[in-house]
């Protein structure tokens, strides 16, 4: 995708949604970190259902440690991989208490050292909590980046590097939100809804579905 088209791509998405936000529910940076860790291979809707009661009870790493692994599992047992996620959340909470006075570090390298926190999770926290220009490449962004021609890459990291290179300054903080939402609700995996896409004319995807209810002709 050409430079001018990249700008126009994000300009249109920004016009439709000037203040994009994560759909995960949280009350502070620590709760955001926990929610993102829990969201791996799970939906935001499912995570939110599990964390509403949890976050009323637990607002700090110290409170999570006090709740304990068994107590946490009771809250999140509807989420996939809840056993390993509970273990990681308790472990990272202990580290935050011991090393960071209960605060979430504003550094990606420090974040990825926490149990259960990979580069994508760290990027989400850096962006949503601290306003960093990071690009958390999940399955939606990976698909949209490659399908549209915006940021092609064979790995999430390759797509992330392309986004870092191509996304213009006015849109860098909100970019990953716009792309996630676009992939989640319009540029869907099986049947992209090209007929209502605001950037369809900028997209390199060939087998566009331009009528509602039409079957996709090619993958």
49 noted as active-site residue: no
pLDDT in tens, 42-69: 889 999 999 999 999 999 999 999 999 9
Is residue 107 annotated as part of the catalytic site, yes or no?
Answer: no
d(CA 126, CA 121): 9
**What domains are there in the chain, each with its CATH number?**
1-17+133-214 (1.10.1670.10), 27-128 (1.10.340.30)
pLDDT in tens, 62-106: 999 999 999 999 999 999 889 999 999 999 999 999 999 999 999
Catalytic residue among 120, 152, 212, 217: 120
Residues of 167-202 as b/e, b for ≥16 C-beta within 10 angstroms? beeebbbbbbbbbbbbbbebbeeeebebeebebbeb
Size of the chain in residues? 219
Q: Residue 142: how many CB atoms within 10 A of its CB? A: 20
Q: What is the pLDDT of residue 210?
A: 81
> Which member of 73, 85, 138, 166 is catalytic?
138
CB burial of residue 164 (10 Å; 0-12, 13-18, 19+):
middle
- How far is the C-alpha of 191 from the C-alpha of 30, rounded, in Å? 36
User: Residue 173: phi, psi to the nearest 5?
Assistant: -70, -40
């Amino acid at each position: 995708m050409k430079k001018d088209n990249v700008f126009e791509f994000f300009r249109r998405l920004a016009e439709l949604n000037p203040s994009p936000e994560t759909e995960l529910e949280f009350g502070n940076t620590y709760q955001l970190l926990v929610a993102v860790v829990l969201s791996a291979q799970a939906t935001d809707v499912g995570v939110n259902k599990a964390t509403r009661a949890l976050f009323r009870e637990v607002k700090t790493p110290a409170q999570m440690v006090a709740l304990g692994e068994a107590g946490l599992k009771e809250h999140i047992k509807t989420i996939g991989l809840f056993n390993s996620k509970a273990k990681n959340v308790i472990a990272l909470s202990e580290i935050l208490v011991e090393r960071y006075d209960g605060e979430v570090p504003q550094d990606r390298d420090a974040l990825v050292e926490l149990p259960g926190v990979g580069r994508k999770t760290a990027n989400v926290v850096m962006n949503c909590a601290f306003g960093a220009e990071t690009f958390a490449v999940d399955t939606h962004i990976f698909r949209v980046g490659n399908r549209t021609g915006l940021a092609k890459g064979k790995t999430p990291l390759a797509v992330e590097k392309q986004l870092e290179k191509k996304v213009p300054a006015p849109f860098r903080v909100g970019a990953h939100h716009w792309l996630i939402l676009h992939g989640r609700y319009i540029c869907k995996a099986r049947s992209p809804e090209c007929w209502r896409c605001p950037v369809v004319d900028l997209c390199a995807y060939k087998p566009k579905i331009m009528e509602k209810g039409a079957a996709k002709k090619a993958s």
